[in-house]
Structures are given as structure tokens and as C-alpha cells.
Amino acid sequence: MDRVALRGLKARGHHGVLPKEREDGQTFLVDIVLGLDTRPAAADDDLAKTVHYGIVAEEVVAVVEGEPVDLVETLAERIAQVCLKHERVEEVEVCVHKPDAPITVPFDDVTVTIIRSRV
């Protein structure tokens, strides 16, 4: 399976279990890796035979900016489901970064990574 990756998609969301997270919001970063067969697109040089990663990027950002959820795990699942709605995408790996998580010790990042595929 071939891979198309988008790294560092940035959006502001109001996700989290704490009231301050819901009120103030914070920046989330998302990496996605889409699994699909790119051979038909390459053979015909045809965008319609692959996935339009610009559209996927817009949809992922819309999920992050959309309805708040408590858990980063839920956010990652919603992003995966949006990606899998694209006909040619067979598998997706989603990594959601929450670099401003409310943690009381020094840290660089918090991430949740999931892999989902068509069943």
C-alpha cells in the first residue's frame, strides 16, 4: 500500500475535560498518513484516481475546529472516519498532538496515535 502523508496540520480546538480547555481552546497539531494504491493515478496522471490531500487537510482542520470532545482519542477517531470517507483511502494513521495539555510537569508534547482501516 502506498502512503500519502500530511504532517503538522494546525488548528485551534476546544477539546478537553477541563472547563478552561473548553473555554479558552488550544492549538492542536495533526499528522495523517493515508494508505491507498496510487498506481492508477500515476499511470494516468489523474487526480481523480487518488486522494486530494488539500481537501482532506481542510476536512481534518474542520473536525479539530468543530464540536468539542473530552478526549483526544475521540478527536483522533473522528478524524480517521473523515479520512476513510474518501473512496480510495483504505487505511489511515492519525496522530493528534496536544502540545499545550494541562500537565504540571515540563513536557514537549502529548500525542494519541490510532490506525484505522476499512473493514
Amino acid at 37: D
CA–CA separation, 66 vs 101, rounded Å? 18
85 is catalytic: no
Catalytic residue among 10, 20, 49, 98: 98
CA–CA separation, 16 vs 21, rounded Å? 6
Cβ neighbours, 10 Å, residue 119? 4
- Would you call 97 exposed, middle or buried from its count of C-beta atoms within 10 A (0-12, 13-18, 19+)? buried
Amino acid at 94: V
Active site residues: 98
